[in-house]
Amino acid sequence: MKRHTYIFITTLLFTLICFGCGGKKTEISPDIAASDEEMYRLGEKFLKKDPEKARLYLRQIIDSFPKSFYAQRAKLAIADSYFKQRDEGSFIIAASEYREFISLYPYSPSAPYAQNQIAITFFKKALKPGRDQTKTLQALAEFKKVVTNYPLSEEAKSSREKIKECEERLAEHTLSIGKHYYKVNAFKAAVSRLSEILTDYPDYSKMDKVYFLLGDSYYNQNNLEQSIPYFTKLITDFPQSKLAKKATAKMEEIEKKQKEKK
């Protein structure tokens, strides 16, 4: 008797919910309403052609069978359905759904995937160097969580590559600011920004430019002793760089000036 009552209530509630979906009536048999697996397959069926309708079925699984294996799959499918819409609003909702998934199922084998997806929602919205890098910083933080929390996962491997991309973009952005200060002869400001790259992004691919601009910024402030390590580092580490020749010429000028002082 209790089972029949449960099936009736579940079916009634679910039908009422579906009445609110664009005014369309959705009928579902008691047998399906009583089965988490059947409900999941029904939701899965509508994911591509009617995501909103699919989410109603999937959320019903989470509400009615919270401890079920299919509840986990349903929660992840809901998050993925928003992610696949790929607009900014959907990415925000997707990230929230993935976070809820990790909170509800922290030990799920899919938790690394969910965390990686959160990071990608920010990465997809990141702007090019020279523009606001807030999303890049957020993506970087989320990718680092994948590596820290799930170091042995497959997602950690791809996240490490994305971390490099984020750091490269952030270093490029900082370099553009440093170059601007350098060009307008604001050498102290240039040194301040360029030094951030050495500290925060030591693997930056264009470090020869950073060394030269730092060395020349100190040189133009007549701080010759401070400029020497950067010109030397450039010549030693990047002998094939076009800037190595300029750095060598600067070192010769410094040596000449130092001799004149004696």
Which pLDDT score, from 0 to 100, does residue 229 have? 97
Listed residues 42, 76, 108: the one ending a domain: 108
Which pLDDT score, from 0 to 100, does residue 8 have? 40
Domain that holds residue 41: 1-108
Q: Residue 49: CB partners within 8 Å, gap ≥ 6? A: none
How many distinct structural domains can be found in the chain? 2
Summarize pLDDT for 26-60 with one digit per residue, the tens: 556 666 677 889 999 999 999 999 999 999 999 99
183 touches 220 (CB < 8 A): no
Let me know if residue 157 belongs to a domain. Answer: no
The structure tokens listed for 112 are 């690394």
Let me know if residue 220 belongs to a domain. Answer: yes
Which pLDDT score, from 0 to 100, does residue 242 have? 95
Let me know if residue 192 belongs to a domain. Answer: no
Profile the chain (262 residues) by mean pLDDT over runs of 10 residues: 42 43 54 82 93 94 92 97 95 98 96 98 94 97 98 97 98 98 98 98 97 98 96 97 96 90 72
Side chain identity at 203, as an amino acid letter?
D
Let me know if residue 239 belongs to a domain. Answer: yes
Listed residues 108, 132, 166: the one ending a domain: 108
Let me know if residue 76 belongs to a domain. Answer: yes
Which pLDDT score, from 0 to 100, does residue 257 have? 87
pTM as predicted: 0.83
The structure tokens listed for 237 are 């580490």
Which pLDDT score, from 0 to 100, does residue 175 have? 98
Which CATH number belongs to the domain containing residue 96 in this structure?
Answer: 1.25.40
Which pLDDT score, from 0 to 100, does residue 27 have? 58
Listed residues 108, 127, 150: the one ending a domain: 108
User: Read out DSSP for 150-193?
Assistant: -TTSHHHHHHHHHHHHHHHHHHHHHHHHHHHHHHTT-HHHHHHH
Alpha carbon distance 164, 162 (integer Å): 5
Let me know if residue 145 belongs to a domain. Answer: no
Alpha carbon distance 228, 210 (integer Å): 14
